[in-house]
Amino acid sequence: MSAVTVRVPAKVNVQLSVGGRRPDGFHDLATVFLAVGLYDHVTAAPAEGLRITAAGRDVDRVPLDGTNLAARAAVALAKRYGVEPDVHLHIDKDIPVAGGMAGGSADAAGALVACDALWGLGAPREELLALCAELGSDVPFSLAGGAALGTGRGEILTPLEVGGEFHWVFAVAEGGLSTPEVYRECDRLRRADGGSDLASDLPAPGADAALVAALREGSAAGLASALSNDLQAASVALRPALADTLATGLAAGALAALVSGSGPTCAFLAPSAGAATTLAAAFPAAYPALSPAPGATLL
């Protein structure tokens, strides 16, 4: 069997409603994932043992050992099917590392699909999705792509209809933010406000009907007025410069701005492709991307 390559998209959470902290440490979510056309490529080639290499953006911050989520994905798949995890995984990165765009999750989903093909396992999609959910809250969506409501800790997906293309610009910050730290800061801010951060005290979050309708209608104006991210205050508290980044994008013509997931990448919704180009030029490192984008795809 020769090498196979899988293309996997980044995501932005156009709604990220965070409920309370559960006894298992995760937070109940109602999140609307939207896959965007910014991709990592994962190539699986025959090898003896498991080896990882990486190239592309932020490559010095990609771990090349067993802690890499793509390596963990290959090992989990091999174990599930009783085969040896013999593979050379090469990850070509375009998705920012630790940027709140599910880059690590994308690589895990890509590795699963690539190893499944390389090893000729023919794993059913439900099996791959179950393995994805074990690997991380965002990994099932990286496999699925398109748009979906994520509930539970984000891993339970309900596909959503998208009635048109949306133009985005992603402003990449230097250095990542740790997702667990951002959730901890969100909890701390809730307690500092005199509230509770516990799932037993807070109502379960739900999907925003206006946002779901805007996606279905392909309405950029509707989506712009409905964007929300409950982690944004925590990300900005940990990285105050993000407030300036968000303001810069709005001044440069964005319909709306928000932190992507746990940050620090900031997402700007643009009214057109031309406006997206102008917006991107307002930042030292910003990339236009279209949504929706397909999920993990064997090339």
Considering beta carbons, is residue 137 or 265 the nearer one to ligand C5P? 137
- Is 93 among the catalytic positions? no
Q: Between 106 and 145, how does the x/- string for binding to ligand C5P read (CB under 6 A)?
A: ------------------------------xxx-------
Query: Annotation-wise, does 152 bind a ligand?
Result: no
Query: Annotation-wise, does 4 bind a ligand?
Result: no
Nearest to 10 by CA among 60, 57, 64: 57
Restricted to residues 14-43, the positions that interact with ligand C5P (CB under 6 A) are: 25-27, 29
Considering beta carbons, is residue 21 or 93 the nearer one to ligand C5P? 21
What 3-state class would DSSP assign to 264?
A: coil
- Out of 23, 180, 194, 240, point to the residue binding ligand C5P (CB under 6 A): 180
- Least distance to ligand C5P, CB of residue 53, Å: 23
Q: Does residue 183 touch ligand C5P according to CB under 6 A?
A: yes
Q: Does residue 153 touch ligand C5P according to CB under 6 A?
A: yes
- Least distance to ligand C5P, CB of residue 105, Å: 7
Considering beta carbons, is residue 128 or 286 the nearer one to ligand C5P? 128
b/e map 156-192, b = 16+ CB within 10 Å: ebeebebeeebbbbbbbbeebbebeebbebbbeebee
Sign of CA dihedral 128, 54, 8, 27: positive
Considering beta carbons, is residue 136 or 263 the nearer one to ligand C5P? 136
Q: Does residue 179 touch ligand C5P according to CB under 6 A?
A: yes
The strand pairing partners of 286, in sequence order, are 171
d(CA 185, CA 215): 30
Tokens representing 161? 């209809």
d(CA 168, CA 42): 24
Maximal CA-CA distance, the chain: 60
From the candidates 28, 138, 187, 208, give the one annotated as an active-site residue.
138
- Is 11 among the catalytic positions? yes
Task: Find out whether 10 and 102 touch, Cβ atoms under 8 Å.
Answer: yes
User: Nearest 5°: CA angle at 40, between 62 and 225?
Assistant: 105
Contact residues for ligand C5P, defined by CB under 6 A: 25-27, 29, 136-138, 153-154, 179-180, 183
Q: Which residues are annotated as a binding site?
A: 96-106
Q: Which residues are annotated as a binding site for ATP?
A: 96-106
Q: Write out the catalytic residue numbers.
A: 11, 138
